[in-house]
Amino acid sequence: MKFLVAIILTALLAFISGLFLPWWGVAITSLLVAVIIHQKAGKAFLSGLLGVLLLWAGLAWWIDIKNNSVLSTKIASVLPLGGSAIMLILVTGLIGGLVAGFAAMSGSFLRASNKS
C-alpha cells in the first residue's frame, strides 16, 4: 500500500513540478516523497523510478497519440532508436525514472540517517 501511494505521489508531485520547475524538479519531488513516505532504499528506488517512468512515458504516449506520431518517429531516427515511437516513449520514461529512482533512494537514506 505504502509502495503504491509513494508511486502515485511521486508521479503527482513530479507533474506539478513540471509546470513550474525545470525538468530536474522531478529529482527534488521524488526525494521529498521518499522522505515523507519512508521505505527501504530498494523499494524507494523502485517507487521513484516507476512513479516518474509511468508519468513521463504516459505523458509522452498521450502526446504521441494526439500527434499521430508525426514527430516521435523523426526523433527516434535522430536518436538511434530505429524510428520507433514506442522505443522513444520507453527511453523517455526510463531517463526520468532513473533520475527519480536515485533521488528517491537518497531520500530514503536521508530519512534513515535522521532517525539514528
User: What residues line the site for another protein (CB under 8 A)?
Assistant: 15, 18-19, 22-24, 26-27, 31, 41, 55-56, 59-60, 63-64, 66-68, 70-75, 77-78, 83, 88, 91-92, 95-96, 98-99, 102-103, 105-106, 109-110, 112-113, 116
Q: Which residue type does 86 have?
A: I
Length of the chain: 116
| Rounded distance between C-alpha atoms, residue 46 and residue 101, angstroms | 6
- Name the residue nearer to another protein (CB basis): 5 or 79: 79
Which of 34, 11, 8, 6 lies closest to 109 in space, CA to CA?
34
Q: Least Å distance between CB 13 and another protein?
A: 13
